[in-house]
Amino acid sequence: MFAHLLDQHLQLDRGIRRTRIGGFGAERVRLAIEFLHQEIETSADRFGQAEDAARLGDVRGQAIELLVDVDALDLQHDFLFDAARVERLLQFRQARIETRAQRGAHFRQMRAHFGDDAFDAIEALAHETAEAFTLADQIASFASPILILTGGDPLMRADVFDIAEHAIGKGLRTVMSPNGTLVTPQVARRMKDVGIARVSISIDFPSAAEHDQFRGVPGAFDGAVRGIRNCLDAGVEVQVNSTITKLNVHYLPALLQLSDDLGAVSFHPFMLVPTGRGKELEEQELPPEEYERALEWMYDAQQESDLFMKPTDVPHYWRVMRQRAKAQGRKLEVHPHSHGGMNTLSRGCLAGIGFCFISHIGDVQGCGYFDKVAGNVREQTFPEVWRASPLFNELRDFDGLKGKCGACEFKKVCGGCRARAYEATGDHMAEEPYCAYVPRGWCAPAAG
Task: Grade residue 372 by pLDDT with cuts at 50, 70 and 90.
Answer: very high
Mean pLDDT computed over every residue of the chain: 76
Is pTM, for the whole model, over 0.85? Answer: no
> Among 414, 406, 420, which Cα is nearest to 371's?
420
Lowest model confidence (mean pLDDT) among 174-188, 241-255, 344-358, 384-398: 344-358
Report the percent of the chain where pLDDT is more than 90: 56
Average pLDDT over residues 50-79: 38
Lowest model confidence (mean pLDDT) among 154-168, 271-285, 302-316: 271-285
Average pLDDT over residues 355-373: 93
> Among 146, 106, 194, which Cα is nearest to 338's?
146
Lowest model confidence (mean pLDDT) among 122-126, 130-134, 170-174, 299-303: 122-126
Q: What is the pLDDT of residues 401-442, one digit of tens each?
A: 999 999 999 999 999 999 999 999 999 999 999 999 999 877
Q: What is the pLDDT of residues 284-293, one digit of tens each?
A: 899 999 999 9
> Among 92, 170, 100, which Cα is nearest to 370's?
100
- Phi and psi torsions of 255, nearest 5°: -70, -40
Q: What pLDDT, on the 0 to 100 scale, is given for residue 276?
A: 64
Q: Which residue has the higher pLDDT, 36 or 209?
A: 209
Cα angle for residues 203, 283, 391 (degrees, 5° grid) = 80
Average pLDDT over residues 370-395: 96
Q: What pLDDT, on the 0 to 100 scale, is given for residue 331?
A: 81
For residue 100, pLDDT beyond 50: no
| Contact indicator for 412, 398 with CB cutoff of 8 Å | yes
Q: What pLDDT, on the 0 to 100 scale, is given for residue 292?
A: 95
Cis peptide before 152 (omega within 30 of 0): yes
Give start and end residues of each alpha helix (H) in 148-287.
160-169, 185-194, 208-215, 220-234, 252-262
**DSSP code for 421:** H
Give start and end residues of each alpha helix (H) in 80-159.
83-94, 107-111, 116-121, 129-140
- Distance (Å, whole) CA 126 – CA 146: 24
For residue 136, pLDDT beyond 50: yes
Strand partners, 245: none
Q: What pLDDT, on the 0 to 100 scale, is given for residue 114?
A: 37
Task: Grade residue 38 by pLDDT with cuts at 50, 70 and 90.
Answer: low
For residue 367, pLDDT beyond 50: yes
Task: Grade residue 282 by pLDDT with cuts at 50, 70 and 90.
Answer: confident
- Distance (Å, whole) CA 405 – CA 319: 12
Q: What is the pLDDT of residues 297-340, one digit of tens each?
A: 999 999 899 999 999 999 999 999 999 999 999 887 665 555 54
> Among 281, 224, 280, 278, which Cα is nearest to 248's?
281
Query: Going by C-beta distance under 8 Å and a sequence separation of 6 or more, which residues neighbour residue 393?
Result: none
